[in-house]
Amino acid sequence: MKKLFTFMLTALMLIASANIFAYEFTWKGVKYETLNSGYVRIIGVDASYTGNIEIVFGDITYTYNGTSYTKPCGAIASDVTFAGNSRITRVTCTLTSISTIPQACFQNCTNLTTVNLGMVDDVNFRIKAYTFAGCSKLSSVTLPQEMWEIDDYAFSSCTGLASLTFNNVYSISPKAFNNCTNLKAITWNNEHTMYEWGSASYLNENSLTSVMPFYKSLGNIVTTANVNTSATSCIFYGMTALRSLNFGSDVKSVGYSAFANCTALTTWSGGANIITYNDKAFYGCTSLIKPISMTAENTYRSYGIGQRAFANTKVSKLTVGTDDTEANYSLSLYEYAFENCSSMTEITLHTGLSSSTDNPTTAFSGCTGVKTLYWGSDYYYFTDVSAFRYNGGFITKLTNLETLTINRKDQIFEHEFYNLKKLKEVTIGSRVKYVSKNAFLGCTALKTVYWSVPDNKNDYNSTSESPFASSDLTTFVIGGGVTHIPAYLLAGQTQLTNLHAMGNATEILPPGVKTIGIGAFYGVPITSLTLPSGIESIGALAFSGCRLTTITIPESLTSIGEQAFVTNSGPLTVTWKARRCAFNNSYKIDGWGVFYPGSGNQSISRITFGSGVEALPARLCFNAMQLTSVTLPESLQSIGDSAFNSCTNLIYIKSNAVVPPTLEGTHVFKGVNSPDPRGLEVVTLEVPANSLALYKSAEGWCEFYGTCGGDEAVDEVQGDMVQCTKVIENGQLYILRDGKVFNLQGAQVK
């Protein structure tokens, strides 16, 4: 009996349970049935119900045997369809996951206005073929937060649909929105990389066919796109009606061919944080006129512009980086990036180039409208610079470039700006380390250069190696931070009539210049020169061939090279204040003179010495045939060898030095007054009255008096110094006067 009772009780419970979970009920015109799983599912529509019907995937409350139950509805029976039902107005889901919506389930529900699947967050969810096709009044669709795909014709002929927001969907059929003739706006929130329809492959350069999600069905319809995540490759390809585009603040990258051939697109808003435009991102957008500005901060400190990213567009300007970030940023610039962008007029780069794998040589091929280029960065980043060293890389494609500013903290490479025939003006900033030879070779229209390279010790070996060889410069402005003028920098620039320091049109050189290299200004038609007070060294031929008529040499000069001031013009007047200046870094050396005129040229006609001059360099006035008189300062202590050698017309010398300056060598006054066979004896030498005897007995000076080596000269010295103290040291007689020690020839020894 106990076993029988147990069996009967169990059977009754199963029957009761079966009755509960197999129970059918109707709620708001929809028929449901309970399932053993604890869910309910939709099994149909109550034909007697006369109101509007809302299909709900979510919690459903029903009453059974006087008890209320709430169960989630997550599915529709597989054999149920609502196709053609004109009373269904809404489909709503409040679940994060539902199992399925049967294919064509709501097809031709002509009064369906709203579909809200926004709560769904299931990567496996899909909207099957024809699910909402023909729902002509459907105007509001909220797609799931995450789903797998939208199938063929899922929303076909939903002519009431004006806008749509896409979240995280992996694949969309190219026919999903076929004949949605009023779908004008798309908002793209998708963070996933899209798959080709019906494939396990990502959208890529081989996907530009019928597998494109919108290309066929919406290409001529959608006019507005709002993109809030990095644009997936190819996604908006070929949407020829697209005119309005907005990028959200989270967009940092535009994918491969994302907007290629959107021929009506002229510009976009937002996009301030975009740092990468991948290959063909806007390729063929023939109406695009927007200036491209990439100035956002980013973690990787690099920007990228892919192959043909903007080819065949009308973009007007390109700016990459900012003044504040150019110290740290680089640009990966790929071939043909801006090919045939003939409307581009200006390029500004605050970046270096990033790697040797890039090939930017053709990046601006066909950009015939570019007139202005600025390039500034702290580092070049380009490990293989051969493309720049010999043919200028992408820059030589800017065939109509007129104005160039380079402020990279790096070198300018050999031939980097080679043969830019339209280039008129160049500014080289203070961040540039040095400028290689022939950097601007062939830039025949170049007339104006602003030079601020501070310490370029990369001197050039000849005129033909100058960065500006083959150019006929008319204006050259030297920045205030420049300390060295490289050898042969402006050699041969015979048309250079406007040469001055930046901010001071009356001075040729800024105050910071310390050294001038060999031949730096050779042949430049300078007429008047006042060297800065801090100048220390002037190389040979530095101002040779100029048209100088006046020169002022400051006290600071310590070294000067031969023929530094060979002049090709009229008589030259020199003011010499250098306290101690050596000739070619030596006081005794063979070579042409500092102001040596050369064959048939004019030379120095007058030289005035400053009161603090102590030593004159060798060959200072060598062969100065126009020099007729000279006055030596009281402070002078020595004169270099051949300083006045071959000054054939020098007939008057006045020395204010109390003690005769030491003559370094035997040729200081050789050839002076050479037309007169009597030589120095008939040259007027005026000396301080109390020093006459010293000069008559001093080595070299005595030749002016014919008293060299005679006892008479010694007697005169002794007689002239009667008020001086005589001392004998080591058997030699010396004279002490004014705190100085002289020998009997009048030469100062201490």
CA distance linking residue 595 with residue 603, whole number of Å = 6
Q: Tokens 């796109």 appear where?
A: 225
pLDDT of residue 589: 45
> How many Cβ atoms are within 10 Å of 590's Cβ, its own excluded?
11
Number of H helices, E strands in the chain: 4, 49
Residue 570: how many other CB atoms lie within 10 Å: 13
Give yes or no for a contact between 250 and 228, defined as CB atoms under 8 angstroms apart.
yes
Sheet (strand 638-639) strand order? 615-616, 638-639, 662-663
The segments of the chain whose pLDDT lies below 70 read: 1-21, 298-300, 324-327, 354-359, 378-392, 456, 568-570, 585-591, 598-602, 709-739, 742-748
CA 45, chain centre distance (Å): 69
* DSSP per position, 268-318: -EE-TT--EE-TTTTTT-TT--PPEEE----TT-EEEE-TTTTTT----EE
The residues, any chain, with a CB within 8 Å of residue 535's CB and separated by 6 or more, are 509, 513, 514, 515, 516, 554, 556, 557
Give strand ranges (E) for 460-511: 475-478, 484-485, 498-501
In angstroms, rounded to a whole number, what is the distance separating the alpha carbons of residues 707 and 448?
A: 61
Those residues whose C-beta lies under 8 Å from the C-beta of residue 626, and which sit 6 or more positions away, are 571, 572, 602, 603, 604, 605, 649
What confidence score (pLDDT) does residue 601 get? 57
- End-to-end CA, the chain: 147
3-class DSSP assignment, residue 7 = helix
pTM greater than 0.85? no
**φ/ψ (deg, to 5) at 6:** -60, -45
Q: Are 506 and 498 in contact (CB under 8 A)?
A: no
> Is residue 697 within 8 Å of 707, Cβ to Cβ?
yes
What does residue 719 show for φ and ψ, rounded to 5 degrees?
-70, -35
Question: What pLDDT score was predicted for residue 395?
Answer: 83
Q: With CA atoms as reference, report the closest residue to 216 among 252, 180, 263, 187.
A: 180
